[in-house]
Chains A and B, each alone.
Chain A
Amino acid sequence: MLTLKKVETEFTKELAANGGSSAELCFQCGTCSLKCPSAKMMTSLRPAYIMRASRLGLKDEALDVDALWQCTTCYTCVEWCPCNVQVVDVITALRNMLVADGEMYENHKKVARSLIKNGHTVENNDKIKKIRKELGLPENPGTVMDSASAKADFDKVLKSTRFAQLVDQ
Chain B
Amino acid sequence: MKRYAFFLGCIAPLRYPGIERSTKEVFKALGVELVDLKDTNCCPAPGVIKSFSKTTWLAAAARNLALAEKEGLDIVTVCNGCYGSLFDAAHELHENKEMLNDVNKILAEIGMRYSGGTKVKHFAEVLYNEVGVEKIKATVKRPAAYNAAAFYGCHFLKPSKLKQLDDSERPTILDDLIEAVGAKSVLRKSKARTMCCGAGGGLRSQFGETALKFTKANLEIMRNGGAEMIVDVCPFCHLQFDSGQKDSGYALPVLHLSQLYGIAMGMDAKDLGMNAHITPVKL
- A: residues with CB less than 8 A from B are 18-19, 37-38, 40-41, 43, 69-76, 78-79, 88, 92-93, 95-96, 99, 104-105, 107-108, 110-112, 115, 119-124, 127-128, 131-132, 134-137, 141-144, 147, 150, 153-154, 156-158, 160-161, 163, 166-167
B159 to chain A: closest CB distance in Å?
5
One of B14-22, B127-135, B245-253 at the interface: B14-22
- 23 pairs across A/B with beta carbons < 8 Å? A19-B54, A69-B206, A71-B201, A72-B154, A72-B198, A73-B47, A75-B158, A79-B168, A88-B159, A92-B54, A108-B51, A110-B205, A111-B205, A120-B14, A121-B42, A122-B10, A135-B18, A137-B17, A142-B39, A150-B38, A150-B41, A161-B59, A166-B56
Q: In the complex, A82 Cα to B210 Cα: how many Å?
A: 28
- Are the CB atoms of A167 and B52 closer together than 8 Å? yes
- Are the CB atoms of B14 and A95 closer together than 8 Å? no
Q: In the complex, A114 Cα to B48 Cα: how many Å?
A: 11
Q: In the complex, A79 Cα to B217 Cα: how many Å?
A: 21
- Are the CB atoms of B39 and A143 closer together than 8 Å? yes
- Are the CB atoms of B53 and A161 closer together than 8 Å? yes
Q: In the complex, A78 Cα to B65 Cα: how many Å?
A: 26
Q: In the complex, A141 Cα to B24 Cα: how many Å?
A: 14
- B: residues with CB less than 8 A from A are 8, 10-11, 13-15, 17-18, 20-21, 36, 38-42, 44-56, 59-60, 63, 84, 106-107, 109-110, 112, 154-155, 158-160, 168-169, 195-196, 198-203, 205-207, 210-211, 213-214, 217, 270-271, 273, 275-276
- Are the CB atoms of B17 and A132 closer together than 8 Å? yes
Q: In the complex, A115 Cα to B206 Cα: how many Å?
A: 17
Known contacts A79-B159, A79-B168, A163-B56: A142-B154 contact under CB 8 Å: no
B109 neighbours in A (Cβ, 8 Å): 156-157, 160
